[in-house]
Amino acid sequence: MDLNRSENSSCARHFPEDKAVPVDPLLALRNIEIKRSNTFTLKIDALVLQPARIYVLTGPNGSGKSTLLQLLSMLIAPDQGDVSFSGNPVRTGSDRKRLRRQITLVEQTPYLFHGTVYDNLAFGLRLRDVRGDLQRERIIKALKIARLDGFENCSAKALSGGEVSRVALARALVLQPKVLLLDEPAAGLDADILPIFEDCLKKSAESGTMIVLSSHDDEQARRLDAESLQLDSGRLARGGEASEDNPVACL
Amino acid sequence: MNFMVTSFQYALEMIINFDAEVFQTVWVSLYTSFLAILFAALIGIPVGTILGLTRFPGRRFILTLLNTLMALPTVVIGLLLFGFFSRQGPLGPLGLLFTPLAMIAGQTVLATPIIANYTVASVSGADSRIMQTALTLGAGYIHGAWQLLKEVRFGVMAAIVAGFGRVIGEVGVAMMLGGNIRGYTRTMTTAIALETSKGEFAFGIALGIVLLTVALFVNVFMYRLQQKQ
């Protein structure tokens, strides 16, 4: 099913016929339902996310932000509904496994594997057969972006909380994913690092990466020139609608 | 008392002089135990990892079975395998009874539940973020599980050491499947049990000292692993 071309979409009426419409959304969800407990169900009727854009996901604790990020990261499958990536439906476990090479999630309290910082950044690169000088070059560059120059030989278990967050971010950036998902990344960062981090996200988006980050900071969407998505009790309360900038945000 | 002291002196002399029979027996014990542990690890670690990471119908039954097998007397395992390896048994034509291979098979059966159970405990108790992190970085489930095992490596090594401790010190399987043939299937434990009854007390003491030393090393190693974990 191609969500972008759905004739029954409720969004079709939101924009004039002569308006240029982006060809393929990167990620699209439709009629999603994920039951996580007897009291909580994530329900999203429609959400379309475009490449090279930043989305800030806000909402109170327990509103479903992490569940939505897990769904977008292809770690879990919906109980009901359709997910598509670049216009292609995602149905099977092998579809999700294949896409996880293009989507990276940085968790709120990231886990670093034992070994050095370099080993951690090399983990995903080795899986993608990026080795040798290219591997080293990309790792050094990612560490520089995360303001961790010279940390490559440090033991990952000896880092402070803020450093762990930055290594996790560098570990995701080094993979140059098409989709970068961040679960409350600002929580582990010092105030002086935050502008650098946000600048880094903007540059990643400019180079084509779609970014979704969950946050409790309402100002973050404005600073990042991002679209705001608001979740409330498992429902998308705001965002994802069609607009001049994002005419197919809601199908 | 004098008898004890004299025997102990003879035993020490045997060890210091590298008595051929003592060290032949020690060698048989060590190589059969090492090979048994290798095979048990190759079976027990994947089984333990699958049981620790997945949920499926019958999982609880398998866990109960593994726990029961851990407590099974070694002579019972020896008895069951004796039936398999004896001339009239299904594996009789292979002629394995009273060979080191039969002992290795029996000790593998003995150690596998221990290694599997310890691995289940390590994997189940591991940080749930390990697997998720590996997956989000692009790993498949098998690669993710391998990374998880690397993270809980001290627990897995403790499983192997515990299995080795059980195997090196057991007597039932080695006696029933090996037959205590001098220079061939005679292990430290079977030699202690049988040679002492024949009046070779000093020989038994010498082997006992070596066995205790091995047990001490195993325990020290286990303790250090637990400290690291």
For B157-167, write each residue's pLDDT tens digit: 999 999 999 99
Q: Is residue B6 part of a domain?
A: no
Task: Sort residue B105 into left (φ over 0), alpha (ψ -120 to 50) or beta.
Answer: alpha
Q: Is residue B30 part of a domain?
A: yes
Q: Is the pLDDT of residue A248 over 60?
A: no
Could you tell me the residue range of the domain that residue B175 belongs to? 16-228
What count of other Cβ atoms lies within 10 Å of the Cβ of residue A192? 8
Q: Which of B137, B141, B151 sits opposite A124 (nearest CB)?
A: B137
Q: CA triplet A237, A238, A243: central angle to 5 degrees?
A: 145
Radius of gyration of chain B, Cα coordinates, nearest whole angstrom: 20
Task: State whether A73 and B136 contact (CB < 8 Å).
Answer: yes
Q: Quick one: tokens of A25? A: 């959304």
Give the pLDDT band of residue A7 (cuts 50, 70, 90): very low
Q: Quick one: tokens of A42? A: 């994530």
β-bridge mates for residue A82, sequence order: A30
Q: Is residue B2 part of a domain?
A: no
Q: Is residue B176 part of a domain?
A: yes
Residues of A in contact with B137 (CB under 8 A): 104, 123-124, 127, 171-172, 175
As a whole number, the mean pLDDT across chain A is 84
Give the pLDDT band of residue B153 (cuts 50, 70, 90): very high
Can you list the domains of chain A with their CATH numbers?
A: 1-102+179-251 (3.40.50.300), 109-176 (no CATH)
- Reported ipTM: the value is 0.81
pLDDT at A250: 36
Percentage of chain A with pLDDT > 90?
55
More confident residue, A151 or A146: A151
* Lowest-confidence pick of A196-200, B70-74, B141-145, B171-175: A196-200
Give the number of domains in chain B.
Answer: 1
CATH code (residue B148): 1.10.3720.10
Q: Is residue B1 part of a domain?
A: no
pLDDT at B31: 95
CA distances from A227 to A37, A49, A230, A240 (A): 29, 10, 10, 8
β-bridge mates for residue A105, sequence order: A181
Q: Which of A111, A123, A172 sits opposite B127 (nearest CB)?
A: A111
**A220, A186 Cβ separation under 8 angstroms:** yes
CA–CA dist A54, A212 (Å, integer): 6
Q: Is the pLDDT of residue B142 over 70?
A: yes
* Helix axes B20-53 and B141-151, enclosed angle (nearest 10): 130
CA–CA dist A100, B161 (Å, integer): 37
DSSP string, B125-176: TS-HHHHHHHHHTT--HHHHHHHHHHHTHHHHHHHHHHHHHHHHT--HHIII
Q: Which residue of A has its CA nearest to B133?
A: A111
A85: helix, strand or coil: strand
B221: distance to nearest CA of chain A, Å? 21
Task: State whether A127 and B143 contact (CB < 8 Å).
Answer: yes
Q: Which residue of B has its CA nearest to A123?
A: B137
